[in-house]
Amino acid sequence: MPVEETFWSRVQTSFERQGLMQHIGARLLQVEPGLCALALPYSEQVTQQQDGFHGGAIGALADIAGGYAGLTMAPAGMEVATIEYKINFMAAFKGGEIQARGRVVKAGRRVIVTTAEVVHLDASGKETACAVMQQTLMVVPKNY
């Protein structure tokens, strides 16, 4: 089995267990060592008061993209838990979809640092910067 499939299936197994992500319609786009990308299409389930993508949905997608990028670096039998993240919102968007692209900056034995950028894609596929996140993960035993 190719290495990439192993990474993919490790992340996919966890992702499918996330009720929130399934519920709001997020999907996995890419998993590579130290990288993970996710997409979230616009729907009524992810809006804020001005009908744009909700910051909470953007934050959740970025958190998970960073977390799964980190998971690809965790030893077998371990997974990662988010200690904290910080996110800046740069513009609001309606329609289309957002994509979050997580990347490992430093994978330590106990702590992993990641960043994620979130972009918006309109109906024509045009990409605009939406948010940037910086995150700290802790390596913890997998217990499910």
Does 109 interact with its own copies (rule: CB under 8 A)? no
Does 108 interact with its own copies (rule: CB under 8 A)? yes
SS3 139: strand
**Rounded (5°) CA angle 39-45-46:** 55
Binding mask 46-85 for its own copies (x = CB under 8 A): xxxxxx--xxxx-xxx-xx----------------xxxxx
Does 20 interact with its own copies (rule: CB under 8 A)? yes
- How far apart, in whole angstroms, are the C-alpha atoms of residue 107 and residue 2? 23
Q: How far is CA 138 from CA 15, 81, 109, in A?
A: 18, 5, 9
C-alpha 31: how far from chain center: 11
Q: Which of 17, 27, 94, 126 binds its own copies (CB under 8 A)?
A: 17
Does 106 interact with its own copies (rule: CB under 8 A)? yes
> To the nearest whole angstrom, how small is the minimum distance from the Cβ of residue 34 to its own copies?
13
Amino acid at 49: Q
Does 24 interact with its own copies (rule: CB under 8 A)? yes
Amino acid at 89: F
Count of residues making up the chain: 144
Does 95 interact with its own copies (rule: CB under 8 A)? no
Binding residues for its own copies, rule: CB under 8 A, are: 14-15, 17-21, 23-24, 43-51, 54-57, 59-61, 63-64, 81-92, 105-106, 108, 110-111, 113, 115, 129, 132-134, 136, 138, 143-144
